[in-house]
Structure 1
Amino acid sequence: MIFTVVSLLFGGCAAPSAPVEPTVDSFPTLLMKGDTLAASGRRTAAEEIYREAAAVRPTDPLPHLRLAWLYLGWGRPEDGLDAVEAAEQRGASPAQTESLRMALHAALGDWETALAYGVSALQRSPADRETRRLLARAYVALGSAEEAEWAYRTLLEGDPSDSMTNEQLGVLLAIHDPAAARPYLQAAQTPLAQDVLDVLGEEKPAYRLARIGQACLTHAEPALAVLALRRAVMLRPVYADAHALLGQALEAMGQDKEALEHLKRAVDLAPRSPLAHSLLGFYYLERGDSRSARPYLETAYDLDPGNPVVSLYMAWLYADLGWYDVIGVWLDEAVRLSPDDPRIWEEVVRFCLERGLTERAVEAAQRLVEMGPGSAPAHDLLGWALFLNGDVEQAESCFREALQLDPDL
């Protein structure tokens, strides 16, 4: 009977109509779809559409350039460079790729290569503010403060109200000319600018520079921190905490060997500095050397038992050593010491997710969302905690909320 029905429908003259040929989107339509998806944060879907466009027109560089920009924003710079190379093989010009290559190499921390591409790109397009801005950051990362100042001043000539440029120039000037820095920091009105303003009046230069470096580290500006802290230890070579902070900043810049030298120097100079011991211990901990980390972290706790960050370090230490029965004690201690600090709660969530403590991760992430209901990362972390704990429906709801709050998450 089934065979008869199928025969009637598709095998003979009784068929109601011919099969409909599937439609294929045009090349421009595919690029437009990919752009729309990328702009809305749907990166995986955008990637598929751009690849479909590349298949429709195999010799066109545009889909590969779009993929490279997508990967840059996605935190996949290696894939981005592969996409740029594919675009160049299909005829993409240096005018299309130099700024992109600069940004991708900067994302990899390869500042010398980024600088070379940036200089060339800026020669082609002197009015390109984003290229000049990234060029200034490359100069800072390479320790060329004067060139960075020049680049930021040039940017301010085009837009004196540019907040981030005022901030960066203000911090640079604060390192060697605090009086000149003040108007730029006041114009910036950013958290980092305010923190630097707060210490400009400090009369002891080395201490002021250490505070500036610490502020830069707090606000994820390690390259600026290196400039300030190098000057601090130059002015006062026996300043242990400045050496410790410099080690932390250098580590963040990927200069591990020099970082370790300054961290060890800090401990030698100040055997009772909790900062020096905690940073050196964490240096080893991040590299999986928990046995080397242990004496420094335990000493740091003995010297500063009221520091919640040290308690978090202890949790990581004992987890690496396999002492799982005491991990919860240290996590509890961290949030007890700083119950209203979302940064501590976020680190607790991340620790629990990494260690598979999903129930505890859910509890901590819920507290994090309560503290910051408008925080996209908080909702995202709660989503992952719920997902890994088996609550897929609630996890999807959290992910949607996170994307609504920040489509670029």
Structure 2
Amino acid sequence: MRLSAPLLAAGLVFAPATHAAALVQASSDASECAAGQAALDRGENAEAIRQFRACLDHAELDMNQEVGAYASLGAALLAEQEFQDALDAYNFAFAIIETGGARAVEPTLYRNRGIARSELGQHERALDDLRMAAAAAPDDTLTQITLGIVYQALDRDAEAVVAFDNVVRLQPDWIGSWINRAGALLDLGLTGAAVEDARRAVELAPEDGSTLNMLCWTLIKDDRAETALPLCEQAVAAEPDSGAIVHSHATALEAVGRMREARPLYRRAWRLSPEDPEILHDYERTHNP
């Protein structure tokens, strides 16, 4: 199931490991690390990256401070969606720990490296990290969301639903909890339950394009396209430039026998999101018979 927007980390942050707290206590030759930490705390990720890299290049750090610097650098890189560089930073942190004869116990290290690996398509390795994070911190929302996404990528739909059950329990007032679980329930073939989750998301955010689109889509999959159609129209009105939302509208129109209206919308959806395989398939199907 394609979602209308990336919901993995919406409204959440890639917090660094707690090793980073030691950086503000470092000696004066690690001032760049303290400045990097301050920038990270303010959400100025590009500046944080610059300062942490300078610190790692120039400062004399003990093992814990160096691990903390790499962990915080990785957190800033994740926030900037520089996933390969983030993975490299976390791998350096783990290597330092292992070289010192220790074992990483901080769950955010595993979680954030798992996120980077997931974004890079390394799902099996991401799963190893995320399981370690979940074992140490089972109530960390971002860990559970990423677990769900990774299980979906591995076609382990029942386990994805379990992970999103945990997200719903932890964040019942966040629309992403319900939308993500609705998508996983669709993958499992439980369309009725998916509709109910999508309805809950709409109750929380009745004018949000993503929630309206999910309810539209789940109703289509539940063979209720007539009911879905006005919701699809509302979703398009809310987010007219979303390829996924336009595609849902086209699908509903086709399902109720209005192909003449659906065809140009399939073309528009493809132009908005040409990289989406489902959208591409429906564009080619309806324009190249």
Task: Give TM class, smaller chain.
Answer: 0.5 to 0.7
The residue aligned with 1:112 is none
Mapping of 1:145-156 within 5 angstroms? none
Identify if the C-alpha distance between structure 1 residues 212 and 239 changes in structure 2 by more than 3 Å, giving closer, same or farther: farther
* Equivalent residue in structure 2 for 1:371, among 222, 226, 238: 238
User: How many Å separate the matches in 1 of 2:188 and 2:273?
Assistant: 38
CA deviation profile, 1:27-54 (whole Å, cap 9, x unmatched): xxxxxxxxxxxxxxxxxxxxxxxxxxxx
The residue aligned with 1:342 is 209
Q: CA deviation at 1:264?
A: 0.5
Q: Secondary structure of the residue that 1:309 maps to in structure 2?
A: helix
The residue aligned with 1:383 is 250
Query: Do the aligned residues in 2 keep the contact of 1:214 with 1:245 (CA within 8 Å)?
Result: no
The residue aligned with 1:257 is 124
Query: Do the aligned residues in 2 keep the contact of 1:210 with 1:242 (CA within 8 Å)?
Result: no
User: How many Å separate the matches in 2 of 1:401 and 1:175?
Assistant: 38
Identify if the C-alpha distance between structure 1 residues 175 and 389 changes in structure 2 by more than 3 Å, giving closer, same or farther: farther
CA RMSD of aligned residues (A): 4.1
Higher relative contact order (CA 8 A, sep 6+): 2
Q: CA deviation at 1:213?
A: 0.5
If the length of structure 2 is used for normalisation, what is the TM-score? 0.56
Mapping of 1:9-408 within 5 angstroms? 175=49, 177=51, 206-207=71-72, 209-216=74-81, 222-227=83-88, 229-230=90-91, 237-320=104-187, 323-349=190-216, 357-359=224-226, 361-375=228-242, 378-399=245-266
Query: Do the aligned residues in 1 keep the contact of 2:198 with 2:211 (CA within 8 Å)?
Result: no
CA deviation profile, 1:174-210 (whole Å, cap 9, x unmatched): 6464587xxxxxxxxxxxxxxxxxxxxxx98735632
User: How many Å separate the matches in 2 of 1:379 and 1:207?
Assistant: 39
User: How many Å separate the matches in 1 of 2:123 and 2:272?
Assistant: 36
Give the letter aligned to residue 271 of structure 1.
P
Give the letter aligned to residue 363 of structure 1.
P
Identify if the C-alpha distance between structure 1 residues 172 and 277 changes in structure 2 by more than 3 Å, giving closer, same or farther: same
Query: Do the aligned residues in 2 keep the contact of 1:319 with 1:327 (CA within 8 Å)?
Result: yes
User: How many Å separate the matches in 1 of 2:128 and 2:274?
Assistant: 41
CA deviation profile, 1:251-309 (whole Å, cap 9, x unmatched): 33232221111110110121221221232233224433334334433222212212222
The residue aligned with 2:42 is none
The residue aligned with 1:68 is none
Query: Do the aligned residues in 1 keep the contact of 2:191 with 2:221 (CA within 8 Å)?
Result: no
Identify if the C-alpha distance between structure 1 residues 348 and 226 changes in structure 2 by more than 3 Å, giving closer, same or farther: farther
Q: Secondary structure of the residue that 1:395 maps to in structure 2?
A: helix
Report how many aligned residue pairs link the two structures: 214
If the length of structure 1 is used for normalisation, what is the TM-score? 0.42
State the identity %: 23
User: How many Å separate the matches in 1 of 2:92 and 2:220?
Assistant: 39
User: How many Å separate the matches in 2 of 1:287 and 1:397?
Assistant: 34
Q: Secondary structure of the residue that 2:172 maps to in structure 1?
A: coil
Larger Rg: 1
Identify if the C-alpha distance between structure 1 residues 179 and 289 changes in structure 2 by more than 3 Å, giving closer, same or farther: closer
Unmatched segments (≥5 aa) in structure 2: 1-44, 55-67, 98-103, 281-289
Query: Do the aligned residues in 2 keep the contact of 1:290 with 1:320 (CA within 8 Å)?
Result: yes
